[in-house]
Structure 1
Amino acid sequence: MGVGKSTVGRRLANRMRLPFVDADTAIEQAAGMTVAEIFARFGEPYFRDGERRVIQRLMDGTPKVIATGGGAFINDETRALILAEATAIWLRAHPDVLAERVGRRDTRPLLRGKDPRKVLAELAAIRNPIYAEAHIHITSNAAPHETTVNAILKAIGHGRHAA
């Protein structure tokens, strides 16, 4: 949350000349409501099930860059699918950096009415060992997004082919 998955993903796709899909946007289109509305109305387990089905549908064998929500990779089925069928990239950042970024908008269901730094630190403690299963680990810091995109391209061996 707040690491720049959508922005970096969109720029990465552009550099690789591939389509980009934000899984949260695809979920919102399929449900006809926002992620926050789905959480509020049906709860997180319902959202995660829909998220898993949408990601499975997106992973149709056609090369593309998919940005998933922070909780998607925590789901055992979703994670197994991603690890088997794709190159999983973990964009990681310190909780303080993330809290500063997400503090700009109140659209994060898991943060509503809570201290972002505390929640993000707790999420990191639980999720980071699972995120560590990703094929590639990239640190996202205060540098421009292009720095992160370049690091990903280098890690996946496409650096010299990128425009």
Structure 2
Amino acid sequence: MTCLILIGMMGAGKTTVGRELARRRKMRFADCDHEIVARTGVNIPTIFEIEGEAGFRRREAQALDELTAEPDLVLATGGGVVLDPANRALLAARGVVIYLDVPPQILWERTRHDRNRPLLRVENPRQRIEELHRQRDPLYREVADIIVEGGRCNPGAMVRQIEKALQALDKTSCEH
């Protein structure tokens, strides 16, 4: 069975959609950020505070490498996982990459009250989301096998879109 890897901006619904997709396909679900928290014993903002974004990205790359080596896994990644070219190569090589594409306005609505997002601890978080989306969208598209337009779609509808696209997709095995 295939490794399914969800990518997209913070607030795109990777964890929610990933859990439902894994349940429907009878696969294990993992969230890369949650795995990092479990391994370190501290939350993501604390890692950013102590090690900076670079330290967090090193931990993220290690977790990504280990998790994508597992068969039959649905993996929700962190929004910035695509910033590292080595991560993009790993994503492309190890499974079917599904980009949950959600417009910045909706991402802002979903994340504006979340205090657990270090990259949004800025004077103008809405503008920051737009900047991050502009920077990351081409990288998401570069590695995506499937692009699902998120927007106002509910998680169940997004999962159905993914399942339909998977049926049409010829890529059926994880390459390790």
Query: TM-score if structure 2 supplies the norm length?
Result: 0.86
**AA of the residue aligned to 2:158:** T
Partner SS, residue 88 of structure 1: strand
Task: Name the CA distance, whole Å, in 2 between partners of 1:105 and 1:49.
Answer: 24
Alignment of 1:50-129 (within 5 A): 50-129=59-138
Task: Name the CA distance, whole Å, in 2 between partners of 1:114 and 1:12.
Answer: 36
Residue in 2 that maps onto 1:161: none
Question: Which 4+ runs in 1 deviate beyond 4 A?
Answer: none
**AA of the residue aligned to 1:44:** E
Following TM superposition, by how much is the alpha carbon of 1:115 offset from its aligned partner in structure 2, in angstroms? 2.1
CA RMSD between the two structures: 1.2
Whether 1:19 and 2:28 are equivalent positions in the alignment is yes
Partner SS, residue 157 of structure 1: helix
Whether 1:3 and 2:12 are equivalent positions in the alignment is yes
Whether 1:37 and 2:46 are equivalent positions in the alignment is yes
151, 159, 163: which is aligned to 1:149? 159
Task: Name the CA distance, whole Å, in 2 between partners of 1:115 and 1:149.
Answer: 32
**AA of the residue aligned to 1:138:** V
Instruction: Map Cα deviations across residues 20-41 of structure 1 (whole Å, 9 max, x no partner).
Output: 0000010111111111110111
Task: Name the CA distance, whole Å, in 1 between partners of 2:49 and 2:58.
Answer: 15
Following TM superposition, by how much is the alpha carbon of 1:114 offset from its aligned partner in structure 2, in angstroms? 3.1
Higher relative contact order (CA 8 A, sep 6+): 2
- Unaligned stretches of 5+ in structure 1? 159-163
Task: Name the CA distance, whole Å, in 2 between partners of 1:124 and 1:27.
Answer: 23
Following TM superposition, by how much is the alpha carbon of 1:113 offset from its aligned partner in structure 2, in angstroms? 3.5
Query: TM-score if structure 1 supplies the norm length?
Result: 0.93
- Total equivalences in the alignment: 158
Instruction: Map Cα deviations across residues 53-85 of structure 1 (whole Å, 9 max, x no partner).
Output: 011011124111000000012211111011011
**AA of the residue aligned to 2:135:** I
Between the aligned residues of both structures, percent identity stands at 37
